[in-house]
């Protein structure tokens, strides 16, 4: 359970809970190379010069504005940085793609549209489409000629997404599925051309006898496809969000996505990446607010002094900076894990789509952590930004009020944070049951330490010895609590599945361990490799 080791190997999903990580092996933002820094600067200039000045017009949902910005992004080659070259993309690595999402982060409504298009919009086709479907749609989605949308939620099925009521019935000729139903809260719906829609295949004429939750590619303009009005929202007002209605929409069988009855694989695997991307953009938004809070606090004077001189404000600034640092570390730590897994899968001979999909799936737990940490850090930081700005933070004249409203959605979509906390604990338990996460041996080692005094972790020396020991102890505490919960559940004394207060708290401990360890490893690496930046 040590925090460093020289024989460190790439950790599998959840293994950070029981295995050490080497700080020198961790990718941290200070490690960006020249090319990555150039990309970062390009995106930052685009956001500052091309997007931010249009904020008022974007907020009014000016027709064609967000689509035209997406097209400009496409012209710069920024919609396909995660796609293979043969489809028109530039196949950049996962960390660089994360950096792009991070830099787009501060742009509010545009961020949501960009993430929906490049993430949950494009990925279903990339991950699960046939070669024909990929060739037909992806090159145009990469240039921005077509825009994408993802339709899972319905009025009566949000968190319980698999309870969708939209139906797809194969016609007697076997040429088309007839779609009927309704989707709700669909991002980009107002201008998208391509929609991944999930529906229940049902009826008398089942394809090869199969039925159930299934994905389809729907094109705007198909007869019987209509859009509702734009939703009036609390924030991200410039992002198009509408209902979609399907009334006897004839969908060619060629537009079936993946396999009948396997739509849940598409829905959930796409969400792993969607959650990660959301966390990365939240961190981008967070960093901008931290820097703005600092500038404002240094300039604004009260009682003949900059407000930054007051301890109460200094505390806020420090807390904002610490939380932002921690969340950013979690994002890039996860990006590196996914990138390494993707490379491994590719060298094992997987095609690029499968390699990407399975890499994200392997780190579903870490993706959920990034989603929760990113969104909750942004909410904390934006709230304190309003406080530091005082009345100016409450005014619609500035952009802080908008950022405050925009931030709130992140805890709701891509799986609410409650659902992600359920996913976190559930994934740990599943990995342990499947023998992929050896919690049992870790638990026995901790028990042995408690009973016989045989230390389950090494002794440390050096400047961060005490912190390293603390991280080990966090992990031991979790393992003890998890072990107790599992024992009580097995003996029938605890119905863990229905004790959500316990699950939420266990997930919080898991999140805190990932965060605390990442932050310590980053600080240790900075101290050794970048002493000029030492914290």
Ligand X SMILES: Cc1cc2nc3c(=O)[nH]c(=O)nc-3n(C[C@H](O)[C@H](O)[C@H](O)COP(=O)(O)OP(=O)(O)OC[C@H]3O[C@@H](n4cnc5c(N)ncnc54)[C@H](O)[C@@H]3O)c2cc1C
Shortest Å distance, C-beta 489 to ligand X: 18
Regarding beta strands 194-202 and 167-170, do their DSSP bridges make them parallel or antiparallel, or are they unpaired?
parallel
Can you tell me the distance from the alpha carbon of 435 to that of 430, in angstroms, rounded to the nearest whole number?
9
Q: Which is nearer to ligand X, 121 or 352 (CB)?
A: 121
Q: Which is nearer to ligand X, 158 or 306 (CB)?
A: 158
Question: Taking the C-alpha atoms of 398, 402, 405 and 410 in order, what is their torsion angle to the nearest 10 degrees?
Answer: -130
Q: Which is nearer to ligand X, 103 or 154 (CB)?
A: 154
Question: Taking the C-alpha atoms of 368, 370, 371 and 373 in order, what is their torsion angle to the nearest 10 degrees?
Answer: 120
Binding part of the chain for ligand X, among 151-159, 243-251, 252-260, 458-466 by CB under 6 A, reads 151-159
User: Which residue number has the CB closest to ligand X?
Assistant: 158
Query: Does the protein bind ligand X through residue 264 (CB under 6 A)?
Result: no
Query: Does the protein bind ligand X through residue 412 (CB under 6 A)?
Result: yes
The single residue among 2, 83, 152, 437 that binds ligand X, judged by CB under 6 A, is 152
Shortest Å distance, C-beta 50 to ligand X: 23
DSSP 386-451: HHHHTHHHH-TTSSHHHHHHHHGGGGTSSS-HHHHHHHHHHHHHHHHHTTSS-HHHHHHHHHHHHH
Residues with catalytic annotation?
414
Cα separations (Å) of 157 from 6, 162, 189?
Answer: 48, 7, 18
Q: Which is nearer to ligand X, 173 or 501 (CB)?
A: 501
Site for ligand X in 89-128 (CB under 6 A): 116
Can you tell me the distance from the alpha carbon of 193 to that of 195, in angstroms, rounded to the nearest whole number?
7
Token pair belonging to 72: 């400009």
Query: Does the protein bind ligand X through residue 241 (CB under 6 A)?
Result: yes
Shortest Å distance, C-beta 417 to ligand X: 7
Binding part of the chain for ligand X, among 47-55, 204-212, 331-339, 414-422 by CB under 6 A, reads 414-422
Q: Which is nearer to ligand X, 241 or 368 (CB)?
A: 241
Query: Does the protein bind ligand X through residue 246 (CB under 6 A)?
Result: no
Can you tell me the distance from the alpha carbon of 252 to that of 217, in angstroms, rounded to the nearest whole number?
9
Can you tell me the distance from the alpha carbon of 363 to that of 269, in angstroms, rounded to the nearest whole number?
11
Shortest Å distance, C-beta 490 to ligand X: 23
Can you tell me the distance from the alpha carbon of 175 to that of 207, in angstroms, rounded to the nearest whole number?
11
* Cα atoms found within 13 Å of the Cα of residue 494, Cβ hemisphere only: 16
Site for ligand X in 219-238 (CB under 6 A): 233
Query: Does the protein bind ligand X through residue 186 (CB under 6 A)?
Result: yes
Binding part of the chain for ligand X, among 73-81, 150-158, 168-176, 302-310 by CB under 6 A, reads 150-158
Shortest Å distance, C-beta 516 to ligand X: 25
Query: Does the protein bind ligand X through residue 413 (CB under 6 A)?
Result: yes
Shortest Å distance, C-beta 492 to ligand X: 22
Query: Does the protein bind ligand X through residue 216 (CB under 6 A)?
Result: no
Query: Does the protein bind ligand X through residue 69 (CB under 6 A)?
Result: no
Q: Which is nearer to ligand X, 176 or 242 (CB)?
A: 242
Binding part of the chain for ligand X, among 15-23, 153-161, 383-391, 457-465 by CB under 6 A, reads 153-161
Can you tell me the distance from the alpha carbon of 461 to that of 481, in angstroms, rounded to the nearest whole number?
28
Q: Which is nearer to ligand X, 116 or 168 (CB)?
A: 116
Binding part of the chain for ligand X, among 25-33, 171-179, 328-336, 408-416 by CB under 6 A, reads 408-416
Query: Does the protein bind ligand X through residue 409 (CB under 6 A)?
Result: yes
**Overall residue count recorded for the chain in this entry:** 535
The single residue among 126, 185, 332, 363 that binds ligand X, judged by CB under 6 A, is 185
Site for ligand X in 478-517 (CB under 6 A): 500
Can you tell me the distance from the alpha carbon of 423 to that of 417, in angstroms, rounded to the nearest whole number?
10
Can you tell me the distance from the alpha carbon of 90 to that of 35, in angstroms, rounded to the nearest whole number?
14
Task: Bin 77: left if φ > 0, else alpha if -120 < ψ < 50, else beta.
Answer: left
Q: Which is nearer to ligand X, 377 or 417 (CB)?
A: 417
What lies within 8 Å, CB to CB, of 247 at 6+ separation is: 180, 224, 226
Can you tell me the distance from the alpha carbon of 257 to that of 129, in angstroms, rounded to the nearest whole number?
6
Binding part of the chain for ligand X, among 41-49, 135-143, 145-153, 322-330 by CB under 6 A, reads 145-153
What lies within 8 Å, CB to CB, of 360 at 6+ separation is: 269, 272, 273, 276, 338, 367
Size of the site for ligand X (CB under 6 A): 20
- The residues binding ligand X (CB under 6 A) are 116, 150-153, 158-159, 185-187, 233, 241, 409, 412-413, 415-416, 418-419, 500
């Amino acid at each position: 359970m040590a925090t460093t080791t020289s024989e460190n190997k790439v950790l599998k999903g959840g293994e950070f809970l029981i295995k050490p990580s080497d700080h020198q092996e961790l990718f941290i933002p200070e490690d960006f190379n020249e090319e990555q820094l150039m990309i970062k600067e390009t995106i930052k200039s685009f956001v500052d010069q091309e997007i931010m000045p249009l904020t008022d017009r974007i907020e009014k949902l000016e027709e064609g504005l967000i689509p035209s910005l997406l097209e400009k992004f496409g012209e710069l080659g920024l919609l396909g940085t995660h796609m293979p070259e043969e489809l028109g993309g530039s196949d950049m690595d996962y960390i660089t793609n994360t950096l792009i999402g991070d830099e787009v982060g501060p742009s509010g409504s545009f961020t949501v549209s960009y993430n929906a298009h490049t993430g949950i919009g494009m990925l279903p086709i990339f991950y699960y489409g046939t070669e024909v479907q990929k060739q037909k749609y992806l090159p145009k989605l990469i240039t921005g000629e077509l825009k994408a949308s993802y339709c899972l939620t319905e009025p009566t099925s949000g968190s319980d997404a698999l309870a969708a009521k939209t139906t797809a019935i194969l016609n007697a000729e076997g040429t088309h599925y007839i779609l009927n139903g309704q989707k709700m809260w669909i991002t980009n719906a107002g201008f998208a051309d391509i929609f991944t829609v999930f529906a229940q295949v049902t009826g008398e004429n089942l394809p090869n006898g199969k039925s159930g939750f299934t994905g389809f590619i729907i094109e705007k303009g198909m007869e019987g496809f209509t859009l509702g009005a734009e939703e009036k929202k609390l924030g991200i007002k410039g992002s198009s969000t509408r209902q979609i209605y399907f009334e006897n929409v004839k969908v060619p069988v060629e537009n079936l996505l993946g396999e009948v009855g396997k739509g849940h694989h598409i829905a959930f695997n796409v969400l792993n990446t969607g959650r990660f991307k959301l966390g990365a953009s939240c961190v981008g938004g967070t960093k901008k607010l931290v820097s703005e809070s600092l500038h404002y606090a240094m300039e604004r004077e009260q009682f003949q002094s900059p407000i930054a001189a007051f301890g109460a404000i200094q505390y806020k600034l420090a807390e904002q900076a610490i939380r932002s640092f921690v969340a950013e570390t979690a994002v890039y730590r996860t990006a590196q894990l996914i990138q390494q897994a993707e490379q491994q899968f590719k060298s094992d001979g997987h095609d690029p789509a499968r390699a990407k999909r399975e890499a994200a799936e392997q780190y579903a737990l870490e993706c959920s952590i990034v989603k929760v940490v990113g969104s909750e850090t942004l909410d904390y930081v934006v709230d304190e930004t309003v406080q530091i700005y005082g009345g100016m933070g409450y005014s619609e004249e500035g952009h802080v009020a908008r950022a405050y409203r925009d931030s709130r959605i992140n805890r709701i979509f891509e799986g609410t944070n409650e659902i992600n906390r359920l996913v976190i604990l559930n994934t740990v338990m599943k990995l342990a049951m499947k023998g992929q996460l050896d919690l049992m041996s870790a638990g026995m080692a901790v028990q042995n330490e408690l009973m016989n005094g045989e230390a389950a972790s090494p002794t440390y020396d050096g400047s961060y010895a005490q912190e390293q020991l603390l991280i080990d102890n966090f992990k031991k505490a979790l393992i003890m609590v998890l072990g107790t919960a599992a024992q009580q559940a097995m003996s029938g004394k605890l119905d863990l599945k229905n004790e959500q207060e316990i699950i939420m708290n266990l997930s919080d401990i898991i999140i805190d361990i990932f965060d605390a360890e990442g932050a310590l490893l980053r600080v240790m690496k900075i101290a050794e490799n970048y002493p000029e930046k030492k914290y």
